[in-house]
Amino acid sequence: MSKKPWYLYIARCNGNTLYTGVTTDVKRRIEEHNKGVGAKYTRGRAPIELIYCAEYANRSEAQREEARIKKLSRKQKEVLVSEKLLERFNER
């Protein structure tokens, strides 16, 4: 039996703030945030828009990366998101 992967995600909240989290189901989690039942930080900050997502083999790896990203400045997070978008664009 293979384990479900974990995902690290960055979401843009209403007010242009950024939220970073981890989950096994990104679509469900973004929906929860938008319904106001996600993290305390995102309540009242809907709509939440997914802007970055990366897959990890397990929860520990995803949380380690989450901690690293949360220490970055907003500008550094925006660069990370931009680089991911360019990467995807170049894959086409």
pLDDT in tens, 3-49: 899 999 999 999 999 999 999 999 999 999 999 998 999 999 999 99
| DSSP-based three-state secondary structure for 58 | coil
Cα dihedral across residues 73, 75, 79, 82: positive or negative: positive
* CA-to-CA separations, 10 to 53, 69, 73, in angstroms, rounded: 7, 9, 13
In order of start, what are the domains of the chain with their CATH numbers?
6-91 (3.40.1440.10)
| DSSP-based three-state secondary structure for 38 | coil
Helix H or strand E segment including 69: helix 59-70
pLDDT in tens, 57-71: 999 999 999 999 999
